Structure 1
């Protein structure tokens, strides 16, 4: 049961707004932070079940904002690669208990922060280069798997997209289109696994206007905001929250 009290909305409204801003203006790579934050007050299943309908609302809003500004061949390869990743995620979720999922969400969050710090300090360089179809579909598969577990497909997708030398807006539009499809792929398995409930769907409906507002705010901020400040704050919150989830899972 989801307690729709003041504490829930104190966490959920900023989390959903943040996810919308990320998807609408900053490539969507950190939109999964909303699920990480929600997992502090909900079970992992409730957190991802609540977020999927909201992410789909955001996707539809963002696709309209970036219509046909994407790189279709790049998006198509990621979508096709994501299908087996989503299937694997469904199998893993079926056999894992809540603490295992909580641990995985926390590890993904910390892994993402470590990846970004390594890039910023020059320890890891991702350069534009030609890659084989196997590599392209592999990253799509990883994106599908992590997206299923914690809506965290953005980071592995970024590893591939950053090699394509896309412009800021083409990168954003390609990400939006790709995860519109991946989130649609997840809808049926989420329902079959019982991840959705009446409570999570009710909460999603209540928070839908917040999701739409977040996308619109993100599209506006895409043009004017200092990206370094946005991501620096995001990484700090993710590191703290990811560590807390891992601690809870292990103890």
Structure 2
């Protein structure tokens, strides 16, 4: 069972993580990886996935409030069955894995997702693809939806780390910024709600984790408002590069 932290340093770290959740939901998505790392550091790695889930749902609600009109429902319908498959596989991994294994698994997933993000940015520079990838069509579109859905479902169930998968998939689909944010908001709200009964059944969500999420609401709100305020003003490319570096270092520490 996940107990509430008793020291101020742990609470400060969790509050920062909650603020980064809010910021990632309404602003720059890459900051969510830091939240995962902070929760996995302050709490047992396996239980941290359940403790973070209610906080993520709070962030989803803020994002829906700000961007709900810009959702692309066709994309969500295309992904839905494959996400279920991925979540089922992730739940099986959580059932059989111990805490040490989960730390390595979470770190490995984050490193893999971060590597995909870095490659997507470097690919045009090496002549491996166009600077503006064309959205997939036909069989390629169906295959992309299947791969993204399964990967997102497995990553979100085991490590709450589906963000990079969805970022790459929606960017490949050529979404403008507001439609991107709105679709991400509804996707993660639906997926995170779907994960709740599974996490309860696995013993990852308890009254303690719900109370923790309630206490962190102000931090989520501050982060969400900040994300909305800066999303159109910050140099997103430089900010994401810094986030990738920090997330990669943290993920490596989890594995070690």
In the superposition, the TM-score normalised over structure 1's length comes to: 0.91
- Cα offset, 1:128, TM superposition: 2.3
Whole-angstrom distance in 2 between the partners of 1:67 and 1:238: 28
Instruction: Please say if 1:161 is aligned against 2:170.
Output: yes
Whole-angstrom distance in 1 between the partners of 2:231 and 2:194: 27
Instruction: Please say if 1:129 is aligned against 2:130.
Output: no
- Cα offset, 1:35, TM superposition: 1.5
Contact 1:29 1:152 in 2 (8 A): no
Q: Aligned residue for 2:85?
A: 84
* 1:119-157 Cα distance to aligned partner (Å, 9 max, x none): 222256454221342431331121011001111111222
* 1:23-55 Cα distance to aligned partner (Å, 9 max, x none): 1112x3542431222211211133212211111
* 1:149-207 Cα distance to aligned partner (Å, 9 max, x none): 11111122223212211111111111111111110110000000000233322211110
Instruction: Please say if 1:118 is aligned against 2:119.
Output: yes
In the superposition, the TM-score normalised over structure 2's length comes to: 0.89
Whole-angstrom distance in 1 between the partners of 2:5 and 2:238: 33
Instruction: Please say if 1:104 is aligned against 2:105.
Output: yes
- How many aligned residue pairs are there? 246
**Equivalent of residue 20 in structure 1, options 22, 30, 48:** 22
Q: Aligned residue for 2:158?
A: 149
After the TM superposition, which parts of structure 1 deviate over 3 Å for at least 4 consecutive aligned residues?
123-127
Using the TM superposition, name which of 94-103 and 5-14 deviates more.
5-14
Structure 1 residues 30 and 84: CA distance shift in structure 2, 3 A: farther
Contact 2:64 2:182 in 1 (8 A): yes
Q: Aligned residue for 1:177?
A: 186
Q: How large is the RMSD of aligned CA atoms in angstroms?
A: 1.7
Instruction: Please say if 1:139 is aligned against 2:140.
Output: no
Using the TM superposition, name which of 187-196 and 8-17 deviates more.
8-17
Matches within 5 A, 1:1-251: 1-26=3-28, 28-122=29-123, 125=129, 126-130=133-137, 131-247=140-256
Contact 1:78 1:178 in 2 (8 A): no
